[in-house]
Structure 1
Amino acid sequence: MLLVIWTATLLVAVLVAANSKVKYFDPKNVLHQSALSLSFDKSLVDALSKLNLDLAGSVIHFQQGDCFCQAIAQSHINSVEKLAENKQFKNIIINVDEHKSLIRFIPSVPAVAVIDKANKLRYFGPYSSGMFCNQGDGLVEPFIKNWQTAATGATIISQSQGCYCNLSEL
């Protein structure tokens, strides 16, 4: 009986600790409000273009040095990078610590953007949702796999919960 109580207590403690790390990707709804603008897609691509990067046909990985969730999601990030390479996309890694002007677009990290070969934003948001941000919960993969599918605008995911480091808190 003591073993059952100990196991149950340990399980509850693990669940409480895990839930304390779950955060909203866009906790202040700044991205959500910005994405309502018809010019958001172009504004983000223009801001990235100022970094003198060749953006057409790229997957842009936004990171921040002190983000614990970056380590948690690293295997998923690696699989997204491999998928991008297989689909002839360039992988570009941007550390937001070095490009603070981008923080107005990026509420949390790890985050990712897909820019198609016509230089149009197709996806922007988290890699995935859920506590461990793993491949089974991936949000970005369909936008890399099906980049040729006609789209009228980008898909912006702002209302996701998972392991994210909110940039406004750093």
Structure 2
Amino acid sequence: MPLSPRAKYWLVSFIITLWLSLSAGAFWYYQWRWSEQFSSQEQLALFDGTEFSELLTQASVPGSISVIHLGRDGCFCNRFNEPHRQAIKDKYQPLGVAFGTLTLPPALDLATPAVALISAQGQLAYFGPYSDSLLCSLGDGLVEPLLDQLLLGYLPEVIHTTGVGCFCTKKTEL
């Protein structure tokens, strides 16, 4: 038995309302979940490279400018930092810049993700966040101008920095 136009209208309205409600609920759930985790990671982080200078220099490639990523397994903030890291690598690796990674032990209380730049002469030139933004985004990069200076032969010494963004420490791992 065919449906009347009025019944078709109500059936289509019900299906659209149900679809919109389920979509809105799913969006709200996933946004709330990510927002809750993200807001717990957002913080001011202090970076002091003097105590890690020797360790970072050992992780560098002698004779090359080196970018050392400092990370922590299980850090929620890695997902925001990865595109920025990859963009830096894509731009600077063809110019001879070496890239390395140090995975920090859980006992070490250092905000991550972080980065260290080591000059070709083995000196720590930068230690801190990739950018000074909430999501470590590409447009706010701190690393790129310093790498450009290193490639030109200058030695910036920015080893005591602060950053506001998504950082994990041993206390805030997920």
Give the share of equivalent positions with the same residue, in percent.
Answer: 24
Q: CA deviation at 1:124?
A: 0.7
> Contact 1:124–1:157 (CA<8 Å) still a contact in 2?
yes
**For structure 2, which runs of at least 5 residues remain unmatched after alignment?**
1-27
**For structure 1, which runs of at least 5 residues remain unmatched after alignment?**
1-9
The yes-or-no answer on 1:21 pairing with 2:25 is: no
Distance 1:123 1:150, change over 3 A: same
Output the amino acid matched with 1:57: I
Q: CA deviation at 1:86?
A: 2.8
Runs of 4+ in 1 over 4 A off after TM superposition: 16-20
The yes-or-no answer on 1:70 pairing with 2:58 is: no
Output the amino acid matched with 2:41: K
1:159 paired residue number: 162
User: Match of 2:73, SS?
Assistant: coil
The alignment's TM-score, normalised by the length of structure 1, stands at: 0.68
User: Match of 1:76, SS?
Assistant: helix
Counterpart-to-counterpart distance in 1, 2:40 and 2:76: 13
User: Match of 1:84, SS?
Assistant: helix
> Contact 1:59–1:91 (CA<8 Å) still a contact in 2?
yes
Q: How does 1:45-56 map to 2 (within 5 A)?
A: 45-49=53-57, 54-55=61-62, 56=64
> Contact 1:25–1:166 (CA<8 Å) still a contact in 2?
no
Aligned residues: 140
Counterpart-to-counterpart distance in 2, 1:59 and 1:139: 13
1:141 paired residue number: 144
The alignment's TM-score, normalised by the length of structure 2, stands at: 0.66
Output the amino acid matched with 1:78: Q
User: Match of 2:83, SS?
Assistant: helix
In our comparison, the structure showing a higher alpha carbon Rg is 2
